[in-house]
Structure 1
Amino acid sequence: MSWLSMVWAQARLNQTVLMRQRGLAFSVLLLPLFLAFANTANARSLDTVNGVPAAAFAAVGAIAVVFPFSYMTIATSIVVRREERVYKRLRGSALPTSAIFAGDILHASLLGAVQGVVILVYAITVANAPMPSNVPLMLLAFVLGAAVFAALAIGTAGFIPNYEVAQLVALPVLFISLVGTGMMIPLSALPEWGQRVAELLPLTPVVTMMRTAFLGRDFAQEAAPVVGFLEAFQVSAAGLGIGLLWIGVGLWSTRKYFRWDPRRA
């Protein structure tokens, strides 16, 4: 069996585990869509944000809602398989460690991609968002978001003792991520130090890159000036650096704290 076949088999195992946990499946599969649609609907009563229609601004940012739920998917599946000693059996097989992690990430990324496409279609057809002005930057932002939250999920799974706690841990991650992007409350309502902290949270640079890719503006600046194709990459460099830093944190935590054996063992 090839490495890719083993990765795909691991991803299918993840999907089977997810569908057996109906409460988690509902949260992971449907809540991102509900939050995205609700956030966009609330913005329709507003006029413009940074020179673009408020509904389009909100809908584009809402695509990134899928990443905190990817965190929930990966972290919870890791904890379940660890506590049920599935990992102990997998490590005794011919399945390499890289295929185990790649399968986890592939499964969550595919779910997020499908949800992202649904939200994207909604943003264009209902919220009147334009087609992305910079598709490569949009894809880069999506890959960055998936990588950041996958690294954080694997890196923090070692601290989570059981399945129930895994869901409780994911809720603050979701809440803080949404607050940091201005989806729950406007960032202007935060004190200046709070706005600076929000800019350094894992999801914020991803959302900013997506809005720049879609709407062709530099949303890192208050006036949100129009930027060209290459300039969009330039103004997104700082956000890319923040995302890579969070990936580094996740990888460091994985190396130091990840556990293959059940915590109760």
Structure 2
Amino acid sequence: MRTDLRHTLRLARVDLKLLGRNHAALFNVVLLPLVFGVMITQLGHADQVFVLTGVPGILLAFVVFANLVNAFVVRREERVLKRLRGWQPSAAAIFGGAGLAAFVIYAVQLALFGVGIHRAGGGLPANVPLIVVASLLGVAVFTALAAAFSGPHRNAELAQITVTPVILVLTFATPIVYPLEALPEPLRLLAALLPATPVVEIVRTAYTGRDYIGVSGGELSMVDQWVAALPSFGVLLAWLVVGGLLARWLFRWDPRHG
């Protein structure tokens, strides 16, 4: 267990160092989500705090899902994953290192948007531990989904094309700009089950101290926020199981070409 943790930390550090050297990836993973998030706030919604607290859905789509799909495909085709498997790290350490590196970037960007929320009049977050737990679980879910999604793709170029519709669905069906109640009933039910939706709802509730998981919008104590978040945590845990099973079925360690 201790060895796996050490390998996870080492691989996460390597991932962050490699990202810093890759200007294209740095733009796609760090700058593009920030630009996209700022653009979303200009869509005309009156409540800027509401929109800014929905940005975690965008970050999960770009920073975790799209980034890791591309990383897993490239490393598989360059036989990096195969060499790692032949070395000491376990599969859990390899996925954990990739997920931890993505979480560090996600957390830094979330902090930057937290500054924006504060400047927009949102004050300070009401429940930081709840934000952290929801974010960690969300990153774990999207790491597993990225691992599964990378399996069928033969190269990074194809992966970049096919992740685009997923990003669009996550961005515009997740309640980032408008609440779920604004959607027609069938779409509302589907949107509520998307893996980014529970993260957005929990983070929004934890930051503002108001119930954005239910429909009341009333003030909640810290304990009540955790209680209100339980159904959303249930959705995230279900997605974690689904993502893990899909990754076990679809993920490939060996190159697909040749």
| TM-score, normalised relative to structure 2 | 0.90
Three-state SS of the structure 2 residue aligned to 1:221 is: coil
Q: CA separation in 1, counterparts of 2:203 and 2:88?
A: 40
Q: CA separation in 2, counterparts of 1:60 and 1:171?
A: 23
- Where in structure 2 are the equivalents of 1:1-265 lying within 5 Å? 2-19=3-20, 21-43=22-44, 46=46, 54-69=47-62, 70-124=64-118, 126-183=119-176, 187-265=180-258
Q: Are the equivalent residues in 1 in contact too, given 2:61–2:167 (CA < 8 A)? A: yes
Report how far residue 66 of structure 1 moved: 1.4
Report Cα offsets for 1:150-173 as digits up to 9, x if no partner.
Answer: 111112221222101221232222
Q: CA separation in 2, counterparts of 1:129 and 1:40?
A: 14
For residue 160 of structure 1, what is the amino acid of its counterpart?
A: H
Report how far residue 23 of structure 1 moved: 3.0
Q: CA separation in 1, counterparts of 2:177 and 2:152?
A: 28
Report how far residue 11 of structure 1 moved: 2.1
Runs of 4+ in structure 1 off by over 6 angstroms are none
For residue 40 of structure 1, what is the amino acid of its counterpart?
A: T
Change (3 A) 1:152 1:102: same
Q: CA separation in 1, counterparts of 2:193 and 2:115?
A: 29
Q: How many residues align?
A: 256
Report how far residue 254 of structure 1 moved: 1.4
Change (3 A) 1:84 1:127: same
Change (3 A) 1:65 1:247: same
| TM-score, normalised relative to structure 1 | 0.88
Percent identical pairs in the alignment equals 36
Structure 2 unaligned runs (5+)? none
RMSD after superposition: 2.1
Report Cα offsets for 1:129-178 as digits up to 9, x if no partner.
Answer: 12111222111221121111111111222122210122123222221111
Three-state SS of the structure 1 residue aligned to 2:143 is: helix
Q: Are the equivalent residues in 2 in contact too, given 1:63–1:120 (CA < 8 A)? A: no
Report how far residue 64 of structure 1 moved: 3.5
